[in-house]
Amino acid sequence: MRPRLAAAASAFVLAVAVSVGAASRPGAAGPLAADSAKVAAGLRDRIASGSHASEWVRELTDRAGPRLAGSPGDRAAVAVALEMLRTAGFVNVHAEKVTVPVWARTSESGQITAPVSQILALTALGGSVATPEGGIEAEVLGVRSFDELEARKSAVSGKIVFFDVPMERAKDGSGYEKAVVYRSEGPSRAARMGAVAVLVRSIGTDTNRLPHTGAFEYAADAPKIPAAALSIPDADFLARWLARGKPVRVRVALACGARPDAESANVVGEVPGGAAPDEIVVLGAHLDSWDLGRGAIDDGAGCGIVIEAARQIAALPTRPRRTVRVVLFANEENGMAGGKAYAAAHAHELLRHAAALEADSGTGRPRGLSWNAGPPAAPLLSQIAGLLEGLQAGHLTAGGYGGVDISPLILSGVPLVGLEQDESTYFDFHHTANDTFDKIVPADLDRATAAAAVAAWCLADSPGPIDRIPPEKRKMPW
C-alpha cells in the first residue's frame, strides 16, 4: 500500500541556520536537557558509523522471505521476528493476534494476440479477482489520464483499459502519489464504463521486466474486473503498438483471488522507560510484504531500522524517561489490519502513548521527519531536527500521519512522526520480485537508523508532555 497524502502542500522547513557538527555540537537548545541531547548525539554518531540494521533485514528476509498477510511466509516472519526481538534484548516480547484478509496469486500471463503475438510481463494487482480460466481477450484502449478516459468513455465498453502514466523519480517519492491513483482507482473507474479488464503501467521508476504489484480496492458501485500491472518495458511496448494505429488485442489470464481470513500477529518488544515507564513511544515498521520479492526494502528495512534503533537505546547506560515499544505490524500492504488491531487492542493506553514513529521508506539516507502533533511540540521537533543536521537529515515536514500502521492512532491524538528518507531508487524495486536483500545499502540504512534512534530517544526522553494532535485534526487520512 503506502499511499501518502499531500503533506508536501503544507510543508515547511524549520531553518537550522548553522549546520551542526556531527560530534561537537549535540543540537540546538530546546526542551531536552543538555545531557539528554548529548546522549542523542552520541547515538547518532555511533549508529551512523556502523550498526547491525542490515543484519536484521538479512535475517528476516533470508528466513521468512515473501510474507504477504496470511501466507506461510507471514507465519514464518512472526516466529523470526519474535526471535529477533528477544535476541535484541527487549523485554515483554510477544505476538498480538491479528485477523488478516488473505489474497493469493497462483499464476498469471499476458500476451498481445493481434496484430502480433508477443508475451507481456505482467502481474495481478493485489486484490484483483481472477479472470475466467483461459483468460480474457479484448481490444485495448490506452489512456494517459483519467481525463482522457472520460473523453473516450463511449469507446470503453468491452475493452481492456490500459492506464499508461509514467511515474517520476524524486528524492521525496512525490511521483508515487501522482501515479498510484491509476492503480488504486483505475480498475473501478474503467469498470463503471464497461471495461472488461484493466492494465496499469507499473507504478515504478525502473526499466526492468519485473512488474510492480500493489493493492487496490474495488468501489462498491463498480463491477469487479481483473486488474494487472505491466512491467515498464512492456507498457512502453504496448504503447508503441497502440501508436501504430491498428487495433491491438491482448489476452490476460490471472489465477488469483481472496481466500478466507487468517491469523497473523503484530510483534512487540520493549525497552522499558526509567522515570515514566507507563508512557510509550511506539517505533513501528511493518512485518508483512508483497509476495513477489522478499520484502527487503518494503519493509524489512524499516524493521531493521526500528529494531536496531531500539537495541542501541537499550544498550545505553541511561534509560529514557518513557518506554520505547517496537511494533512490527501485520498486513500493512493489503488491509492495514495490524495497525487497526493495535489501535483497538491498546485503546486503554493510547492516552499514555506519547508519540509514534514509523519507518517505511526503504534503505535510503534519512532526509528528515514529518510530524503531526500539537503546535507547542514544534520546539522539540526543531531540537530533534538540529540533532539530525549532523546526518543532513534536518528537514521537517508538518502534517501527515507518520505511516500507514500508526495512522489509526491519529484518532486518539497521538503525536505521529514519519522517518523521511531518500526515495530516489526506492520505486525501482518497490513491490517487485527485485525487492531482495542485495538492494539494501548498509551505510545508508545505518544513517536512517541513526536518525530514527535520535528521534526515538528525544521523544522518549523529553521532560514535558508532547502536545497531542488537536481534536479538529484527528481524522483518518482515508
Site string for its own copies, 397-436 (x = CB under 8 A): -----------------------------------xxx-x
Helix, strand, or coil here: 300? helix
Q: Which is nearer to its own copies, 235 or 309 (CB)?
A: 235
Nearer to its own copies, 159 or 294 (CB): 294
Q: In the window 41-70, what residues touch its own copies (CB under 8 A)? A: 58, 62-63, 65-66
- Classified as helix, coil or strand, 124 is strand
Q: CA angle, corner 123, sides to 254 and 65, nearest 5?
A: 110
Q: Is 119 in the site for its own copies (CB under 8 A)?
A: yes
8-state DSSP, 24? T
- How far apart, in Å, do the first and last CA atoms of the chain sit? 12
The answer to whether 257 and 70 are in contact (CB under 8 A) is no
The residue from 279, 332, 389, 420 that is catalytic is 332
- Mark residues 261-300: x for contact with its own copies by CB under 8 A, - for none: --------------------------------xx------
- CA–CA dist 202, 430 (Å, integer): 10
Residue 435 beta carbon to its own copies: minimum distance, rounded to whole angstroms: 9
| Of the candidate residues 241, 290, 342, 401, the single one contacting its own copies (CB under 8 A) | 241
Least Å distance, CB 371 to its own copies, is: 35
User: Does residue 117 bind its own copies (CB under 8 A)?
Assistant: yes
Distance of CA 20 to the CA centre of its chain: 30
- CA-nearest of 219, 214, 273, 272 to 404 is 214
Q: Which is nearer to its own copies, 301 or 336 (by Cβ)?
A: 301
Among 437, 457, 461, 462, binds its own copies (CB under 8 A): 437
CB of 428 to its own copies, least distance (A): 10
CA distances from 246 to 119, 161, 236, 239, 393 (A): 18, 16, 16, 12, 52
Told to check if 209 binds its own copies by CB under 8 A, we report yes
- Whichever of 64 and 280 has its CB closer to its own copies, that residue is 64
Contact in structure between 469 and 406 (CB atoms under 8 Å): no
Quick one: which of 87, 113, 118, 392 contacts its own copies (CB under 8 A)? 118
Report the run of H or E that residue 241 belongs to, with start and end.
helix 232-243
For residue 294, the minimal CB distance to its own copies (Å) is 8
**Shorter beta-carbon distance to its own copies: residue 70 or 402:** 70
CB of 431 to its own copies, least distance (A): 13
Give the residue with the Cβ less far from its own copies, 229 or 350: 229
Task: Let me know the angle formed at the C-alpha of 268 by 265 and 271, rounded to the nearest 5 degrees.
Answer: 180
Concerning whether 279 is annotated as a catalytic residue, the answer is no
Looking at 116-124, 220-228, 343-351, 383-391, which segment touches its own copies (CB under 8 A)? 116-124
Helices 72-87 and 301-314 sit at what angle, rounded to 10 degrees? Answer: 20
Q: Does the protein bind its own copies through residue 237 (CB under 8 A)? A: yes
Q: DSSP letters along 323-374, please?
A: EEEEEEES-TTTT-HHHHHHHHHTGGGGGGEEEEEE--STTSPEEEEEEES-
Measuring CA to CA, how many Å separate 413 from each of 269, 343, 350? 23, 12, 9
Site for its own copies in 352-391 (CB under 8 A): none
Question: Cβ atoms within 10 A of the Cβ of 354, count?
Answer: 23
Distance between CA atoms of 378 and 358, rounded to whole angstroms? Answer: 19
- C-beta closer to its own copies: residue 230 or 459: 230
Report how many residues bind its own copies under the rule CB under 8 A: 31
Q: Cα–Cα distance between 193 and 161 in angstroms, integer?
A: 10
CB of 160 to its own copies, least distance (A): 19
Which residues form the catalytic set? 332
Binding site for its own copies (CB under 8 A): 58, 62-63, 65-66, 72, 76, 116-119, 121, 207-210, 232-233, 236-237, 240-241, 293-294, 432-434, 436-439
